[in-house]
Amino acid sequence: MKIDVLSLFPEMFQGVFQSSILSKAHEAGAFQYNFVNFRDYTDNKHNKVDDYPYGGGAGMVLKPQPIFDAVEAVQQDAKSSPRVILMCPQGKPYTQKKAEELAKEDHLIFICGHYEGYDERIRTELVTDEISIGDYVLTGGELGAMVVIDSVVRLLPNVLGNDDSAVQDSFSTGLLEHPHYTRPADFRGLTVPDVLLSGNHAHIDQWRRKEALKRTFLRRRDLLVGMDLTEEEQKWIKEWGSEEENS
């Protein structure tokens, strides 16, 4: 298995990858790894990889260009289509079943973000899997990636010495966040929603609320239990439910 890790702080992984089971697995040839600082791929003269979010708001958003280029670079010599994994609080909760699924792959690419979030086009156009290791927020995706990588590598053949060891293993509240976009407004033909460029903050707030509610409905419906929703929001949920039933 080959594992590529895209991070602004690749040095964080050195101690983990050079210790314990991961170190032994690498020495035995069970997997290869490569660390990529995607800042090296930015075309910004100041080496920036983030920008202010369209529509306003707190924090900075990772730009699409550096991450697109970094992923494409590590994919050039790929013998098969790699799984591209985005570490984020909005992803599907990580489970042992998912670890077993990923352990069957030949190539995994992990994207570890920082700041407020990712430009949505990274999520929709590059990523095959979005993973969360819990309902809490970390300063970046590196620690989560370490957790997932460790849980996957230990499932590879002969890594634990006794393959039966792996077989016998056990197993804040609110809405998920709305999509984020940053410059450029048009990236490879993929455009930012018009409402975020309108300057009408009331419409922007409504769009964000609706998108956050929809994402939560589609991905973590359990978070909506007991939540105080307006009549309009309840109407949206009924519409999405009907669309689901008819799809």
Task: Fill in the amino acid letter for 18.
Answer: Q
- Same fold for the domain at 2-167 and the one at 186-246? no
Residue 171 has pLDDT above 70, yes or no: no
DSSP H stretches of helix in the chain? 14-17, 20-27, 64-75, 96-102, 120-125, 142-153, 163-167, 194-197, 201-219, 231-246
The residue from 53, 154, 179, 208 that is catalytic is: 154
Q: In what order do the strands lie in the sheet with 117-118?
A: 50-51, 61-62, 117-118
List residues forming the annotated binding site for S-adenosyl-L-methionine. 113, 133-138
List residues forming the annotated binding site. 113, 133-138
The residue from 51, 100, 105, 116 that is catalytic is: 116
Active-site residue flag, 130: no
pTM exceeds 0.95 for this model: no
- In this prediction, residue 73 carries a pLDDT of 97
The CATH code that applies to domain 186-246 is: 1.10.1270.20
Assigned token pair, 78: 């790929």
Span 86-140, pLDDT tens digits: 999 999 999 989 999 999 999 999 999 987 789 999 999 999 999 999 999 899 9
Q: What average pLDDT does this structure show over 157-169?
A: 66
Q: What average pLDDT does this structure show over 161-187?
A: 72
Span 33-80, pLDDT tens digits: 999 999 999 999 999 999 999 999 888 999 999 999 999 999 998 888
- In this prediction, residue 170 carries a pLDDT of 38
- In this prediction, residue 173 carries a pLDDT of 39
Q: What average pLDDT does this structure show over 189-196?
A: 98
Indicate the pLDDT class of residue 235, thresholds 50, 70 and 90.
very high
CA distance 52 to 207: 18
- How long, in residues, is the chain? 247
CA distance 88 to 150: 17
The residue from 40, 163, 169, 232 that is catalytic is: 169
CA distance 129 to 110: 10
The residue from 89, 120, 123, 129 that is catalytic is: 89
Indicate the pLDDT class of residue 163, thresholds 50, 70 and 90.
low
Q: What stretch of H or E contains 190?
A: strand 190-191
Active-site residue flag, 64: no
Q: What stretch of H or E contains 205?
A: helix 201-219
Q: What angle do CA 164, 169, 171 make, to 5 degrees?
A: 155
CA distance 87 to 85: 6
- In this prediction, residue 116 carries a pLDDT of 78
In the chain, where the domains are located: 2-167, 186-246
Active-site residue flag, 116: yes
Calculate the average pLDDT of the chain. 92
CA distance 163 to 168: 9
The CATH code that applies to domain 2-167 is: 3.40.1280.10
Alpha-carbon dihedral sign for residues 52, 58, 59, 62: negative
